[in-house]
Chains A and B, each alone.
Chain A
């Protein structure tokens, strides 16, 4: 693990006063705070570094230790081990405003799990994650168990959820500090493509291959929908690319799952191949009519 220069992270001099540390932290936090940079993982990482630097440099004791050992911090580890153990027993790790992993290994080695000196209540960080669902999963309301930071939570995913849509799971984000509330978990859904159906809003689209004879003469055929198989009538003289609509056979509407969109079927007419002599003769005859 590498030495981390907290002064460099905050862009301040080693002789900076407590006020200058505070000012530098505020300026950097305003730039990189996750609430001000939604869905920006780079900003989140920078904010974690700034937070860690501030945690050390704003605390006179930690700063003294950091300044004292500096790059030789690994030697400090041995000297301070006994002291750290005492500190760990005295102060619970849960008082930290962020997840353990938000602090670098360097920080953990030098300062152990000691809590922040400040008693300000912090709301835990919001977490964001993506959950991939296939189209059939999104078609029906179902329950799913997720593992969030080692804790299993069971959620209900309403039918009709859209690709890219997020839901908030209150209180399942980072732990709050000093009695502050937990953050929230934002779950973004990624709906995978289906080989046969395409979704646009609440409507579904599919392509059906029709043989030439049914296309010309009309008839009946059974097709698959997400709701099961249905029988449809094919009009005589159906053209290649013609589209029909099956009302209410599309996707359920989010949070109103008794109402459905429509299913649009496009016909692709397949021209027969390997014709027999008799068939060719009959087609020739028809062409001359």
Chain B
């Protein structure tokens, strides 16, 4: 993977004025995946939104790491339930197209 497509964690931390240890803690719980190239830490652009969401949860809403982990798990559950609801709605629409 080319590092030019990745986001440097040191720059991100400077931008948000946070300690890199927080992001390492997120990685330790499996919430974020860090890419290491030549001992420099990066994240992929796809994870940026997620990471910024966690930063907001922690530093603005005062939610600790365990709380973020729980929220992340519940949000994923909501997402998969939403997909399942849509799939079932589509199936119902097939049998009852006038609904």
Contact = CB atoms under 8 A, between A and B. Distances in A.
Interface of A: 26, 29-30, 33, 35-36, 38-39, 120-121, 123, 162-165, 181, 184, 193, 198-200, 205
B40 interface: no
Interface string B58-99: 001111000000010001001100100011011101100110
A35 B56 contact: yes
Given A26-B61, A30-B63, A36 B90 contact: no
A29 B60 contact: yes
Contacts of A30: 61-63
Nearest to B62: A26
Nearest to B49: A184
Nearest to B90: A163
Given A123-B52, A163-B86, A184-B49, A205 B75 contact: no
B53 A35 contact: yes
Contact of A123 (B56, B63, B78, B98): B56
B99 to A, nearest CB: 9
Contact of A164 (B49, B61, B79, B90): B90
B2 interface: no
A181 B89 CA distance: 35
Interface of B: 15-16, 49, 52-53, 56-57, 60-63, 71, 75, 78-79, 82, 86-87, 89-91, 93-94, 97-98
10 contacts: A26-B60, A33-B61, A35-B57, A36-B75, A38-B79, A38-B82, A120-B60, A184-B49, A193-B97, A198-B94
A26 B67 CA distance: 14
Contacts of B63: 30
A200 B56 contact: no
Given A123-B52, A205-B94, A165 B71 contact: no
Nearest to A205: B94
Nearest to A198: B94
Nearest to A26: B62
A37 B29 CA distance: 23
